[in-house]
Structure 1
């Protein structure tokens, strides 16, 4: 919630449209031609920088592909992608660390199903920030999904957890 001065000097409270009440991680969806060497060209653009790819998913079709990336330092990663001339979009994902145990993914999916939250897509992270597996997920209600999973004992990660 934000507080601002109104016209008469009184405090006016309001919530902004972009207010976030959960930790989220920026995902970059990079659009590439589906041809040999394009993935290498993309990953090489981060060479020599502090930006590391911490999550990766590839969706391809005959003519093009979408590379979903989570980066250790998204602000710098955005600049690198822009300078390299890649077409990309951004959105916020929920990153959930899985507890050790054979049923952790089942529990995650069951908890979201009970809350009638749809998972649009999900993929595993390349790194394990605290020594445990983690998944990135895009759901139809990320804020509620975060609250439910947190209440179930899952650790929700932020971008700061992905710096290494």
Structure 2
């Protein structure tokens, strides 16, 4: 008989990650021509709305650039980007705060390395939720990374934390 058959309780009680979804924040990768004023146009597209850019990273090349942005209100930001007819893609990132005390970026990297979790890229947030520095990370295993960071004393934040 396998576990779960027979309707009886096995007497085992434990916590699993099955069905748990770690909070992630949507990142928009906006593709722009590499010419003067394009970043300003992107930033201005959010003027007059409640949407703020809370994280920013730019990858530049000769002909184009990819502007990675995290927004305080992703649903409204998505609509603004669509209405602006800017080509973009979306990814989910894990964002961890550097807690008060001696916790550092090195501690995050060490904890994830020990868990064999790869960080594809990372960048700091412009806005500091709860008054602490935070780092956004594109990670190959969000569930495992979230568990590792929580277990080592880091707070993983969600989009609602960015809406101040």
Give the TM-score normalised by the residue count of structure 1.
0.86
Larger strand fraction of residues: 1
Distance change (3 Å), C-alpha of 1:102 and 1:62: farther
Which sections of structure 2, spanning at least 5 residues, go unmatched?
A: 1-18
1:44 maps to 44
1:61 maps to 61
CA distance in structure 2 between the partners assigned to 1:102 and 1:81 by the alignment: 39
Moved over 6 A (4+): none
Which sections of structure 1, spanning at least 5 residues, go unmatched?
A: 1-18
State the Cα distance separating 1:139 from its structure 2 match.
0.9
Deviations 1:39-95 (A, max 9, x none): 000000000000000000000100010000000000000000000000000010001
Within-5 A mapping of 1:117-132: 117-132=117-132
Larger Rg: 2
Deviations 1:81-119 (A, max 9, x none): 000000000010001000234551111000000111110
Give the TM-score normalised by the residue count of structure 2.
0.86
SS at structure 1 position matched to 2:66: strand
Within-5 A mapping of 1:3-152: 21-101=21-101, 103-152=103-152
